[in-house]
Structure 1
C-alpha cells in the first residue's frame, strides 16, 4: 500500500469538530474489536469532558493535525506531561491522544505524526519524547510504539470514568537537531 501524502500542522479551534470525528470513529472501531478499555464506548463528540479536552489542546497550541488532500486524517497532542505522569529530571516533549482516521490505517499517517513529534522535539533541543498508551487487550498498541523505536519506561494505573485504566509509559531518546544545538 502506498503511503498517504500527509502535511502536519498546528491545529486550532476550527479543527475541533474534525478531530472529534476521528476520535468517534476510533472509539467505534475499538469497541467493535473488543478494545473498549482504551477510550470507552461513548463518542467523544457527545462528551462535554472530552470536547473540552480537545478544545484545550487547540487553545493551548498543543494540537497537531495531519491533513491529506485538505482532510484531517490524524491528530495528537504535544506538550508537557500530564500531572499524573511521573516526572523526569530533564526537558521532554510528551505525546498523547494520537488518533488516525481508520480509513487511512496502514497508509503512514501514524508514522508521519510520530516523525513530526520527533522533529519538533529535536527542533526544540529536547532529547526525550515520551507517551502513554493503553496496555490492555492484545498489547497491539504497545507493540506498535515499540516497533516505532519506543521502549517501556514505566506503568500507570488510573481510576476514572472508564473504570481502571492500565497503561505503559514509553520513551524514545532523540538527537537534538544540529541547527538548534550549541557547539561544545
Structure 2
C-alpha cells in the first residue's frame, strides 16, 4: 500500500510557473488535444481574439517532460465593470486526476487577487468551478458575444461587490497582441 502512495506522489510531481514564449507551441497542442482543433470557434474565444493575456496572469504547469497544463486570464468589461475572464484551462489528458487543474486554478486566482483584480468570470461546468467559489449569482444579467449556456456563465468576486449591478455584454479590453505576444501561425500542409 505504501508503495502505491509513493508511486502516486512521484506521478503527481509538477510545478506551476509563468508562461514562457517557449511554451506556446506545446500550449497550442495541449489546447487542441483538450478542446479540439475547432476551439477557435467558441464564444469565449471572441474575448481573446487579437488580445494578449492579462500581464502576469498566464501560467503553465510543467513536469520533467514539459508543459502539462495551462491557464490564462484576460481583461474584460463585464457590463461596464472591470473583470478578468479565465480560460481556457487545460490539462494534458494523461495527467488528469492528479490535481494539476485545481492547482492552476488556485494559483491563477491567487495571482489575480494579489494584482488587485476584483472579479473573474468564466464559461464552464458549475460543479467543478463551484468548489473555487464560482457561481451564476452575479452573472445573470451578463451576456457573451455569441451563443452560450446561461447556467455555465459563472463569476467569482475577489473583492466584495466587484460585480454588483453588472449588466450587459462582456467585452474584451485587454492589450492588443503584438508580434512578441502573438501565437504561432499554423500553416496548412502543402501538397507534395
Q: TM-score range by the shorter chain?
A: 0.5 to 0.7
User: Structure with the greater relative contact order (CA < 8 A, sep ≥ 6): 1 or 2?
Assistant: 2
- Cα distance in structure 2, aligned partners of 1:15 and 1:142: 29
> What residue is the counterpart of 1:123 in the other structure?
114
Structure 2 SS opposite 1:97:
coil
Structure 1 SS opposite 2:116:
coil
TM-superposed CA distance for 1:7, in Å, is: 1.9
1:166 aligns with 2:149: yes
Q: 2:62 aligns with which of 48, 63, 67?
A: 67
The 3 A distance-change label for structure 1 pair 56 and 112 is: same
- Cα distance in structure 1, aligned partners of 2:19 and 2:153: 25
Structure 2 SS opposite 1:151:
coil
TM-superposed CA distance for 1:6, in Å, is: 2.9
Structure 2 SS opposite 1:117:
helix
The 3 A distance-change label for structure 1 pair 100 and 54 is: farther
TM-superposed CA distance for 1:113, in Å, is: 0.9
Count of matched residue positions in the alignment of Structure 1 and Structure 2: 142
Give the TM-score normalised by the residue count of structure 2: 0.59
| RMSD of Structure 2 on Structure 1 (CA) | 3.3
Larger Rg: 2
The 3 A distance-change label for structure 1 pair 98 and 173 is: same
